[in-house]
Amino acid sequence: AAALTYVIVTQGDKVSLTLFDDAIRTHVRTGGTLRHVRAVLSQIDRHIPQRATELAGILPKASGLFPRRGVLLVLSDFYDDVPTLFQSLSMFLHRRFEVILFHVLHPDEYRLPRVPHARFVDMESRESLTCAPEDLRAVYDAGMARHLDAMRAAARARGVDYNFVTTDIPYAQALRRYLLRRNAARP
């Protein structure tokens, strides 16, 4: 998010930031200066997830924060019901926003770690589960594959730019790969 903010502003565009969980917690209004970039970065740095995120419920509430058409860039783990999520994005699409999704997961969320036992802690609820990942692997992998396929298909059907990235890829490399792909797709 920080790197994208910097790239957007240095190419002469403006950016705003909205941070939320089950409610909007922070909104930094649109700006296009390096001072504004610092304000956005400060908010990103201070933000600590506290509650379960309800992206599909927040997007309609956030819609009013963006009175003019533009680019809606969403960075999330997208642990949401896919049809409900895309229904909530439809108001932005109807207003002719360009919608870009960055689906960001830790490698151990994408593929369970190959360890005999693991303790998984939910960053939002702090609930934990101790298990043998091998006992869950087949069901987990199939569920993850279905979810990612559903995200890709829903994005493609609606003309949404969908990008999957894991946190083990350095952000500069992920951003470079995205920008190169985006520039190659332009006529």
Tens of pLDDT, residue by residue over 127-150, are: 898 999 999 999 999 999 999 999
Instruction: Write down the pLDDT at residue 76.
Output: 94
Instruction: Write down the pLDDT at residue 51.
Output: 79
Instruction: Write down the pLDDT at residue 98.
Output: 96
Instruction: Write down the pLDDT at residue 49.
Output: 75
DSSP bridge partners of 24: 20
Let me know how long the chain is: 187
Instruction: Write down the pLDDT at residue 183.
Output: 85
Instruction: Write down the pLDDT at residue 126.
Output: 83
Instruction: Write down the pLDDT at residue 122.
Output: 80
Q: Which residues of the chain have pLDDT under 70?
A: 187
Q: Which residues of 97-109 are buried (b: 16+ CB within 10 A; e: fewer)?
A: bebbbbbbbeebb
Instruction: Write down the pLDDT at residue 73.
Output: 96
Cβ neighbours for 46, distance < 8 A, ≥ 6 positions apart: none
Answer positive or negative: Cα dihedral of 82, 125, 26, 41: negative
- pTM value is 0.90
Nearest residue to 17 (alpha-carbon basis) of 56, 99, 73:
73
- Residues 52 and 22: beta-carbon distance below 8 Å: yes
Angstrom distance (rounded) from CA 181 to CA 177: 6
